[in-house]
C-alpha cells in the first residue's frame, strides 16, 4: 500500500475510534490496539514530515511551551445569562416571552455546566482556533490547549466555509479526584473544585500539562454557520451532534409547569452527570424568535440561567478526628450524624484547621448546618448554639502527631499545623516519592506506582530501606520481573554518589527547594557541618531567610531525621558536596532564560551559570542582570526591553562562558 494511502486510512480509523471512545463512550477496540495504530501513524509521519497535517491525531499535543496567550476578539459576542433563583422568576420569564411571541413557545432546558466557556472556530471543516470567553467580547487564544481535549473534533464531516460553536470546558469529578490524589502525593496544594481545576488547566502555558488534566467539553450553542440556515436551537444541536461534537443533554418543552418540572428533575439527578452543574438554562428554541426578543445591554432576552441554591441541613458533631496528610498537615474532620445532601449521604465534614474551628467555635456535641462546597465537599456553615449541650468545651488540636508522636509545628506563613517527624508513616508515600524523584535522588524506575508497591509489601518504611532492597524480592512485585528489578537496583546504587544538594532536597525539608538545597550544600560542603549549623549561621547565607533557617534547624535537630541520615550514611549515600565552582565571574548576577535555546538545554545553561557563581530566575524584574533570549522569545523578552535589561543572544552568552 502507498504510504500516503496508509496515512490517510490510519487517520480516519484513529479519528473514528477516538470519537467512539471520547464522545460516545462506546469503544470497540482496546487501548493497546489504539496505541499501536497511533504509533504506526507517528512512524509514517516521522518518515514523511511533509504529510503531517494540523488535524492529524498525532498533533493534538503540541511540544512547544507558550510564552503567553494572545487576545482574541470574538466575532459573535459570548453573552452571559441573567440569573434567576426561584420558580416564580422562571414563570415570569416564560410569561414575558409568551406576551411577546404568543402562547405555546418552545423552550430548550439544559443543565448549566460549571466550567469555562470557550468558542471553537472551524474553516472548511478544520479546527483553526479556540478562545476563552473573557469579557464576552475579547478572550484569550488557547487553541493549542483545546487541541488536547479529545472530544473536540479536529476535522468535521461537513466542510462548511465557517463554523463557530460555543461550549463549556470542564473537568469530570472522577478526573478531579484522581488529580487531587496525585497532588497530595506530590506535596502540592489541593485544588478547590473541578471548575477552578479546569480553568487553571486550560490556561497552562505548556499544552502537555493541559493534556495530562484530561479536560472535556459540552457544546451548547452554534454562534455562526456559513452555508447553513437552521431555524431552531434543537436543530443546531442535532446538526452539531452529527458533526461529532459532544452536545449538551437537553429537552424541548412548552409551558411553565413543564419547564419547572424539568429544572427540578435536573437538580434531583445532578450527581448522575459526570460534570458539575450549578443550575439549569432555559432558552427559547426558535432562532427567529430570539432575533425578535433581542438583548439588553448585558443579557439576551431569550434565555435565563436558574441557579440552584446550595442544600443545607442540620447534623450533630459526634466526634472530631485528626487525619495526617501525606505532607504532614494535621487536618481535623467532624464526624457527623448521617445527612443526605446533593444526592449522597454525608457523614464527615472537613474542619480545615484550628483557625476555622476557633472562628466558628465548633465543639463535639454541637448541632451544625452542613452544605456541600461547590456541590462536592461537605462543609460546616454555622453552629446552632441554641442547641448546644451543657458541658461542651472548645476544641484544640493536639501538640504531637497522632500517628508518630513527633512534635507538631504551625507554618510561619499560614494556618497549617504540621508533623515534624522525618519518618512519620502517614507521610511515607509522599516522602519516598519525592526522595526518588528526578530533581532529588533521581532514582529511575522508582515512581509513585513502584513506591506504593514497595510500601504495601513491607519492604520499605523509610528512604534508607531503598538501599537494602534485594533483586529477587523486588522482581516478585507486580509488573516488575528480573530485568526491571535489576534496573531499579542499579539506579538506587547510582544515586549513592549524588551531590549533597540532591540529598538535602530529597529529604523534603520544609521551605527548602532545589535552589536552596544547592546553596546549603555549596556553603557547608558536608552533611555534618549542615547538621551542626545554628539558625543564626544559616540566615547569614544569601537567599536563606529566617523561616527557612528555622525549618532546617528543626528538621535536622529531630531524632527521626538524625536516625534517617545515619542509616543513609551507613548505606553508603554520599554526604559531601562534589559540585565545584569553575570561577565566580557571574557572582551577584541573576539571569533569566527565555524562548527556545538551540545551543543549550535549559538545565545545562542553568548549571553553567550556577557553576560560575550566578543565579537563574524564572521571571524578569529590576534585579535581573541579563536575559538570554532564544527563538520565539515572548513576554519575558518584552518586559526586559521595557526595563532596559541587557539582552543576550545564545552566541553572546557562549562568549561570556569562554
Looking at the structure of the chain, the number of domains it has is: 5
**pLDDT of amino acid 98:** 92
**pLDDT of amino acid 538:** 92
Q: Which of 156, 157, 168, 160 is nearest to 127 (CA)?
A: 156
Between 335-349, 453-467, 483-497, the lowest mean confidence (pLDDT) is in 335-349
Residue 170 forms part of a structural domain: yes
CB-CB contact of 282 with 261 (8 Å) = no
Angle between helical axes of 448-456 and 428-436 (0-180°, round to 10):
130
Distance (Å, whole) CA 285 – CA 296: 19
**pLDDT of amino acid 230:** 95
Pair (212, 294) in one structural domain? yes
**pLDDT of amino acid 547:** 86
> Helix/strand/coil (H, E, C) string of 189-258?
CCCCCHHHHHHHHHCCCCHHHHHHCCCEEEEEEEEEECCCCCCEHHHHHHHHHHCCCCECCCEEEECHHH
Confidence class for position 154, pLDDT limits 50, 70, 90: very high
Pair (433, 568) in one structural domain? yes
Between 630 and 128, the higher pLDDT residue: 128
Residue 16 forms part of a structural domain: yes
Pair (302, 320) in one structural domain? no
- List, in order, residues 6 or more apart from 145 with CB less than 8 Å away: 201, 202, 203, 204, 207, 210
pLDDT, averaged across the chain: 89
Convert the pLDDT of each residue in 605-658 to its tens digit.
888 888 888 888 888 888 899 999 888 788 888 899 989 999 999 889 999 988
Tell me the three cell numbers of residue 141.
487564544
Residue 403 forms part of a structural domain: no
CB-CB contact of 603 with 515 (8 Å) = no
**pLDDT of amino acid 463:** 93
Q: Within a 10 A sphere around the Cβ of 354, how many other Cβ atoms?
A: 17
DSSP letter at 309? P
Distance (Å, whole) CA 128 – CA 151: 16
Pair (646, 574) in one structural domain? no
Whether the per-residue pLDDT at 63 is higher than 60: the answer is: no
Distance (Å, whole) CA 270 – CA 517: 48
Distance (Å, whole) CA 88 – CA 330: 46
Pair (117, 25) in one structural domain? no
Letter string b/e over residues 190-200, b meaning 16 or more CB atoms within 10 A of that residue's CB: ebebbbebbee
Tell me the three cell numbers of residue 39.
504509533
3-state secondary structure of 453: helix
Whether the per-residue pLDDT at 2 is higher than 80: the answer is: yes
Convert the pLDDT of each residue in 585-612 to its tens digit.
888 888 999 888 888 888 888 888 888 8
Q: Within a 10 A sphere around the Cβ of 253, how many other Cβ atoms?
A: 18
Which of 332, 367, 387 marks a domain boundary? Answer: 387
**pLDDT of amino acid 173:** 86
Name the one residue in this structure whose C-alpha cell is 529566617. 546
DSSP letter at 147? T
Residue 604 forms part of a structural domain: yes
Residues marked active site are found at: 112
Which of 553, 579, 605 marks a domain boundary? Answer: 579
Whether the per-residue pLDDT at 375 is higher than 70: the answer is: no
**pLDDT of amino acid 45:** 83
Distance (Å, whole) CA 106 – CA 94: 10
Tell me the three cell numbers of residue 380.
460546616
**What's the domain range around 21?**
3-59
Distance (Å, whole) CA 378 – CA 348: 7
Pair (179, 284) in one structural domain? yes
> Helix/strand/coil (H, E, C) string of 45-102?
HHHCHHHCCCCCHHHCCCCCCCCCCCEEECCCCCCCCEEECCHHHHHHHHHHHHHHHC
Q: Residue 646 forms beta bridges with which residues?
A: none
Q: Is beta strand 82-84 parallel, antiparallel or unpaired with respect to 303-307?
A: parallel
Q: Within a 10 A sphere around the Cβ of 295, how many other Cβ atoms?
A: 13
Convert the pLDDT of each residue in 541-571 to its tens digit.
877 888 899 989 989 998 889 999 999 999 9
Q: Evaluate the CA torsion angle 478, 481, 487, 491 in order and state its sign.
A: positive
- List, in order, residues 6 or more apart from 252 with CB less than 8 Å away: 106, 107, 108, 234, 285
Which CATH number does the domain housing residue 323 bear?
A: 2.40.50.140
> Helix/strand/coil (H, E, C) string of 334-357?
EEEEEEEECCEEEEEEECCCHHHH
Of the chain, the percentage scoring pLDDT greater than 90 comes to 53
Residue 632 forms part of a structural domain: yes
Average pLDDT (154-166) is 95
Pair (319, 301) in one structural domain? no
- List, in order, residues 6 or more apart from 351 with CB less than 8 Å away: 320, 331, 332, 333, 334, 357, 362, 380
Between 54-68, 144-158, 177-191, 342-356, the lowest mean confidence (pLDDT) is in 54-68
Which CATH number does the domain housing residue 539 bear?
A: 1.10.150.20
Pair (449, 567) in one structural domain? yes
Of the chain, the percentage scoring pLDDT greater than 70 comes to 97
Confidence class for position 432, pLDDT limits 50, 70, 90: very high
Q: Within a 10 A sphere around the Cβ of 250, how many other Cβ atoms?
A: 19
Residue 64 forms part of a structural domain: no
Letter string b/e over residues 170-189, b meaning 16 or more CB atoms within 10 A of that residue's CB: bbbbebbeebbeebbbebee
CB-CB contact of 62 with 49 (8 Å) = no
Which of 253, 281, 307 marks a domain boundary? Answer: 307
Residue 122 forms part of a structural domain: yes
Which CATH number does the domain housing residue 11 bear?
A: 1.10.287.610
Q: Evaluate the CA torsion angle 193, 197, 200, 202 in order and state its sign.
A: negative
Distance (Å, whole) CA 626 – CA 608: 14
**pLDDT of amino acid 67:** 63
Distance (Å, whole) CA 581 – CA 517: 16
3-state secondary structure of 304: strand
Q: Which of 596, 485, 469, 524 is nearest to 63 (CA)?
A: 596
Angle at 145 between CA 144 and CA 146, to 5 degrees: 95
Average pLDDT (271-296) is 93
Whether the per-residue pLDDT at 22 is higher than 80: the answer is: no
Name the one residue in this structure whose C-alpha cell is 411577546. 100
DSSP letter at 573? -
Pair (179, 258) in one structural domain? yes
**pLDDT of amino acid 342:** 67
Pair (114, 185) in one structural domain? yes
Pair (323, 205) in one structural domain? no
Amino acid at each position: 500500500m502507498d504510504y500516503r494511502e496508509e496515512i490517510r486510512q490510519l487517520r480516519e480509523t484513529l479519528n473514528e475510534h477516538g470519537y467512539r471512545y471520547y464522545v460516545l463512550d462506546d469503544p470497540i477496540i482496546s487501548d493497546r490496539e489504539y496505541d499501536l495504530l497511533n504509533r504506526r501513524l507517528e512512524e509514517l509521519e516521522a518518515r514523511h514530515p511533509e504529510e503531517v497535517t494540523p488535524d492529524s491525531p498525532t498533533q493534538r499535543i503540541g511540544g512547544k511551551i507558550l510564552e503567553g496567550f494572545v487576545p482574541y476578539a470574538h466575532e459573535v459576542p459570548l453573552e452571559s445569562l441573567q440569573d434567576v433563583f426561584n420558580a416564580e422568576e422562571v414563570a415570569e420569564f416564560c410569561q414575558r416571552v409568551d406576551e411577546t411571541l404568543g402562547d405555546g413557545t418552545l423552550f430548550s432546558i439544559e443543565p448549566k455546566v460549571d466550567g469555562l466557556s470557550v468558542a471553537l472556530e472551524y474553516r472548511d471543516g478544520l479546527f483553526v482556533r479556540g478562545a476563552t470567553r473573557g469579557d464576552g467580547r475579547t478572550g484569550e487564544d488557547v487553541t493549542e490547549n483545546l487541541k488536547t481535549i479529545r472530544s473536540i473534533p479536529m476535522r468535521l464531516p461537513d466542510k462548511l466555509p465557517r463554523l463557530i460553536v460555543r461550549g463549556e470546558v470542564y473537568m469530570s469529578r472522577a478526573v478531579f479526584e484522581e488529580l487531587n490524589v496525585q497532588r497530595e502525593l506530590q506535596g502540592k496544594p489541593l485544588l478547590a473544585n473541578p471548575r477552578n481545576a479546569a480553568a487553571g488547566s486550560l490556561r497552562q502555558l505548556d499544552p502537555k500539562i493541559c493534556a495530562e488534566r484530561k479536560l472535556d467539553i459540552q457544546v451548547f450553542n452554534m454562534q455562526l454557520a456559513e452555508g447553513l440556515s437552521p431555524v431552531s436551537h434543537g436543530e443546531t444541536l442535532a446538526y452539531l451532534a452529527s458533526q461529532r461534537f459532544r452536545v449538551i443533554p437537553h429537552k424541548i418543552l412548552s409551558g411553565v409547569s413543564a419547564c419547572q418540572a424539568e429544572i427540578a428533575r435536573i437538580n434531583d439527578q445532578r450527581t448522575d452527570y459526570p460534570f458539575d452543574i450549578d443550575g439549569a438554562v432555559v432558552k427559547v428554541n426558535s432562532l427567529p424568535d430570539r432575533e425578535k426578543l433581542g438583548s439588553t445591554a448585558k443579557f439576551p432576552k431569550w434565555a435565563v440561567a436558574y441557579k440552584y441554591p446550595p442544600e443545607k441541613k442540620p447534623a450533630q458533631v459526634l466526634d472530631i478526628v485528626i487525619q495526617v496528610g501525606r505532607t504532614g498537615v494535621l487536618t481535623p474532620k467532624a464526624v457527623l450524624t448521617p445527612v443526605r445532601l446533593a444526592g449522597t449521604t454525608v457523614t464527615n465534614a472537613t474542619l480545615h484547621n484550628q483557625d476555622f474551628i476557633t472562628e466558628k467555635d465548633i465543639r463535639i456535641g454541637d448541632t451544625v448546618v452542613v452544605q456541600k462546597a461547590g456541590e462536592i465537599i461537605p462543609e460546616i456553615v454555622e453552629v446552632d448554639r441554641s442547641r448546644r449541650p451543657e458541658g461542651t468545651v472548645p476544641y484544640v488540636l493536639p501538640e504531637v502527631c497522632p500517628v508518630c508522636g513527633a512534635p507538631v509545628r504551625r507554618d510561619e506563613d499560614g494556618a497549617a499545623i504540621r508533623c515534624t517527624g522525618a519518618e512519620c508513616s502517614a507521610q511515607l508515600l509522599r516522602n519516598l516519592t519525592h526522595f526518588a524523584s528526578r530533581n532529588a535522588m533521581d532514582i529511575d524506575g522508582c515512581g509513585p506506582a513502584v513506591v506504593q508497591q514497595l510500601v504495601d509489601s513491607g519492604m520499605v518504611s523509610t528512604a534508607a530501606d531503598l538501599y537494602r532492597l534485594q533483586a529477587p524480592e523486588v522482581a516478585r512485585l507486580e509488573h516488575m520481573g528480573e530485568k526491571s528489578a535489576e534496573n531499579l537496583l542499579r539506579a538506587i546504587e547510582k544515586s549513592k554518589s549524588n551531590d549533597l544538594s540532591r540529598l538535602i532536597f530529597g529529604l523534603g525539608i520544609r521551605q527548602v527547594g532545589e535552589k536552596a538545597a544547592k546553596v546549603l550544600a555549596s556553603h557547608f560542603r558536608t552533611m555534618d557541618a549542615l547538621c551542626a549549623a545554628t539558625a543564626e549561621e544559616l540566615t547569614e547565607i544569601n537567599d536563606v531567610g529566617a523561616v527557612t533557617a528555622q525549618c532546617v534547624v528543626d528538621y535536622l535537630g529531630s531524632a527521626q531525621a538524625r536516625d534517617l541520615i545515619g542509616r543513609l550514611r551507613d548505606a553508603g549515600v554520599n554526604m559531601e558536596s562534589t559540585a565545584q565552582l569553575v570561577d565566580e565571574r557571574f557572582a551577584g548576577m541573576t539571569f533569566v532564560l527565555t524562548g527556545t535555546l538551540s545551543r543549550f538545554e535549559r538545565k545545562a545553561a542553568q548549571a553553567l551559570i550556577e557553576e560560575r557563581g550566578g543565579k537563574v530566575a524564572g521571571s524578569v524584574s529590576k534585579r535581573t542582570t541579563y536575559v538570554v533570549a532564544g527563538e520565539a522569545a515572548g513576554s519575558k523578552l518584552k518586559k526586559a526591553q521595557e526595563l532596559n535589561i541587557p539582552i543576550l543572544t545564545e552566541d553572546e552568552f557562549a562568549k561570556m562562558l569562554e
